[in-house]
Homo-oligomer: A and B are copies of this chain.
Amino acid sequence: MTGYNLGIRLNTSADVRTRWRREAEPRFPVGCDNRLVLSFGVNDTTAREGGTRIAPADSIENLTSILEEATTWGWPVLVVGPAPIGDDQQNARTAALNDRFADVCQRHGVPYVEVFHQLDRDPVWSEEVRAGDGAHPAAAGYQRLAEIVFDPWATWLSR
Protein backbone atom coordinates (compact mmCIF):
# COMPACT_ATOMS: atom_id res chain seq x y z
CA MET A 1 0.00 0.00 0.00
CA THR A 2 1.25 3.47 -0.85
CA GLY A 3 -0.11 6.56 0.91
CA TYR A 4 0.36 10.13 -0.28
CA ASN A 5 -0.08 12.98 2.20
CA LEU A 6 -1.36 15.96 0.26
CA GLY A 7 -2.25 18.24 3.17
CA ILE A 8 -1.32 21.90 2.84
CA ARG A 9 -1.02 24.34 5.72
CA LEU A 10 -3.90 26.84 6.01
CA ASN A 11 -5.98 25.17 3.31
CA THR A 12 -9.74 25.50 3.56
CA SER A 13 -12.38 23.18 2.12
CA ALA A 14 -12.49 25.50 -0.89
CA ASP A 15 -8.76 25.03 -1.49
CA VAL A 16 -9.07 21.26 -1.21
CA ARG A 17 -12.08 21.22 -3.50
CA THR A 18 -10.07 23.12 -6.13
CA ARG A 19 -7.08 20.80 -6.15
CA TRP A 20 -8.03 17.36 -4.81
CA ARG A 21 -8.85 15.76 -8.12
CA ARG A 22 -5.94 17.03 -10.14
CA GLU A 23 -3.58 15.89 -7.36
CA ALA A 24 -5.29 12.56 -6.66
CA GLU A 25 -5.58 11.38 -10.25
CA PRO A 26 -1.83 11.14 -11.00
CA ARG A 27 -1.55 9.08 -7.77
CA PHE A 28 -4.36 6.65 -8.67
CA PRO A 29 -2.89 3.97 -10.97
CA VAL A 30 -5.33 2.29 -13.33
CA GLY A 31 -6.60 -1.00 -11.90
CA CYS A 32 -5.64 -0.27 -8.29
CA ASP A 33 -7.92 0.04 -5.27
CA ASN A 34 -7.62 3.83 -5.10
CA ARG A 35 -9.11 5.59 -2.08
CA LEU A 36 -9.36 9.07 -0.66
CA VAL A 37 -9.08 10.27 2.95
CA LEU A 38 -10.28 13.83 3.44
CA SER A 39 -9.78 16.11 6.42
CA PHE A 40 -10.47 19.82 6.59
CA GLY A 41 -12.61 22.35 8.40
CA VAL A 42 -10.56 24.14 11.06
CA ASN A 43 -9.20 26.74 8.62
CA ASP A 44 -12.74 27.28 7.34
CA THR A 45 -13.84 28.52 10.76
CA THR A 46 -11.05 31.07 11.28
CA ALA A 47 -12.52 34.53 11.99
CA ARG A 48 -12.38 37.13 9.24
CA GLU A 49 -14.01 40.56 9.11
CA GLY A 50 -17.72 39.91 8.73
CA GLY A 51 -17.56 36.16 9.35
CA THR A 52 -15.18 33.29 8.76
CA ARG A 53 -12.76 32.35 6.00
CA ILE A 54 -15.45 30.06 4.57
CA ALA A 55 -19.14 30.42 5.38
CA PRO A 56 -20.56 27.20 6.89
CA ALA A 57 -22.95 26.72 3.96
CA ASP A 58 -19.99 26.89 1.58
CA SER A 59 -18.01 24.37 3.65
CA ILE A 60 -20.96 21.98 3.36
CA GLU A 61 -21.21 22.61 -0.36
CA ASN A 62 -17.47 21.98 -0.79
CA LEU A 63 -17.60 18.68 1.10
CA THR A 64 -20.72 17.60 -0.79
CA SER A 65 -19.13 18.37 -4.11
CA ILE A 66 -16.03 16.32 -3.35
CA LEU A 67 -18.04 13.34 -2.04
CA GLU A 68 -20.30 13.31 -5.09
CA GLU A 69 -17.45 13.61 -7.55
CA ALA A 70 -15.41 10.89 -5.82
CA THR A 71 -18.45 8.60 -5.81
CA THR A 72 -18.96 9.22 -9.52
CA TRP A 73 -15.41 8.07 -10.15
CA GLY A 74 -15.78 5.06 -7.85
CA TRP A 75 -13.19 6.16 -5.30
CA PRO A 76 -14.16 5.20 -1.72
CA VAL A 77 -13.87 8.11 0.71
CA LEU A 78 -13.24 8.37 4.45
CA VAL A 79 -13.68 11.76 6.12
CA VAL A 80 -11.80 12.70 9.30
CA GLY A 81 -13.46 15.61 11.05
CA PRO A 82 -11.79 18.81 12.24
CA ALA A 83 -9.99 18.98 15.60
CA PRO A 84 -10.26 21.54 18.41
CA ILE A 85 -7.58 24.21 18.78
CA GLY A 86 -6.73 26.66 21.57
CA ASP A 87 -9.54 29.14 20.84
CA ASP A 88 -12.95 28.59 22.45
CA GLN A 89 -14.88 30.78 20.05
CA GLN A 90 -13.41 29.12 17.01
CA ASN A 91 -13.95 25.72 18.62
CA ALA A 92 -17.67 26.48 18.98
CA ARG A 93 -17.83 27.18 15.25
CA THR A 94 -15.77 24.05 14.48
CA ALA A 95 -18.05 21.90 16.66
CA ALA A 96 -21.09 23.12 14.72
CA LEU A 97 -19.38 22.41 11.41
CA ASN A 98 -18.34 18.97 12.71
CA ASP A 99 -22.02 18.12 13.28
CA ARG A 100 -22.99 19.26 9.81
CA PHE A 101 -20.10 17.36 8.20
CA ALA A 102 -21.26 14.19 10.03
CA ASP A 103 -24.76 14.68 8.58
CA VAL A 104 -23.50 15.18 5.05
CA CYS A 105 -21.36 12.04 5.26
CA GLN A 106 -24.21 9.97 6.68
CA ARG A 107 -26.51 11.06 3.85
CA HIS A 108 -23.84 10.04 1.33
CA GLY A 109 -23.04 6.71 3.01
CA VAL A 110 -19.47 7.86 3.68
CA PRO A 111 -17.81 6.97 7.01
CA TYR A 112 -17.04 9.99 9.18
CA VAL A 113 -14.46 9.83 11.94
CA GLU A 114 -15.58 12.26 14.60
CA VAL A 115 -12.48 13.45 16.50
CA PHE A 116 -13.60 16.81 17.86
CA HIS A 117 -15.31 15.78 21.09
CA GLN A 118 -12.80 13.11 22.10
CA LEU A 119 -9.90 15.51 21.61
CA ASP A 120 -11.75 18.42 23.21
CA ARG A 121 -11.96 16.57 26.51
CA ASP A 122 -8.45 15.14 26.23
CA PRO A 123 -6.08 16.95 28.61
CA VAL A 124 -2.96 15.90 26.67
CA TRP A 125 -4.31 17.37 23.44
CA SER A 126 -5.40 20.65 25.03
CA GLU A 127 -2.20 21.11 26.98
CA GLU A 128 0.09 20.42 24.03
CA VAL A 129 -1.91 22.76 21.78
CA ARG A 130 -1.68 25.51 24.39
CA ALA A 131 2.06 24.93 24.90
CA GLY A 132 2.64 24.95 21.13
CA ASP A 133 1.39 27.35 18.48
CA GLY A 134 -2.20 27.35 19.74
CA ALA A 135 -3.42 25.03 17.00
CA HIS A 136 -1.12 22.00 16.74
CA PRO A 137 -0.21 19.48 19.48
CA ALA A 138 3.13 17.69 19.91
CA ALA A 139 3.84 13.96 19.59
CA ALA A 140 1.52 12.72 22.35
CA GLY A 141 -1.42 14.70 20.98
CA TYR A 142 -0.88 13.33 17.49
CA GLN A 143 -0.64 9.88 19.02
CA ARG A 144 -4.12 10.38 20.53
CA LEU A 145 -5.48 11.54 17.19
CA ALA A 146 -3.95 8.50 15.46
CA GLU A 147 -5.52 6.19 18.05
CA ILE A 148 -8.96 7.66 17.39
CA VAL A 149 -8.62 7.39 13.62
CA PHE A 150 -6.89 4.02 13.38
CA ASP A 151 -9.76 1.54 13.90
CA PRO A 152 -12.34 3.26 11.66
CA TRP A 153 -9.64 3.68 9.00
CA ALA A 154 -8.59 0.01 9.19
CA THR A 155 -12.24 -1.10 9.02
CA TRP A 156 -12.86 1.13 5.99
CA LEU A 157 -9.70 -0.15 4.28
CA SER A 158 -10.73 -3.77 4.71
CA ARG A 159 -14.13 -3.44 3.09
Interface residues of A (CB under 8 A from B): 2, 4-5, 8-11, 15, 19, 22-23, 26-27, 29
- Residues in B neighbouring A22, C-beta threshold 8 A: 22
Minimum C-beta distance from A46 to chain B (A):
15
Looking at the complex, which one of B8, B15, B27 makes contact with A4 (CB distance below 8 Å)? B8
Given contacts A15-B26, A23-B23, A26-B15, contact A5 B8 (CB under 8 A): no
List 11 A-B pairs, Cβ < 8 Å.
A2-B9, A4-B8, A5-B5, A8-B26, A8-B27, A10-B29, A11-B26, A15-B26, A19-B26, A22-B22, A23-B23
The chain B residue sitting closest to A25, CB to CB, is B19
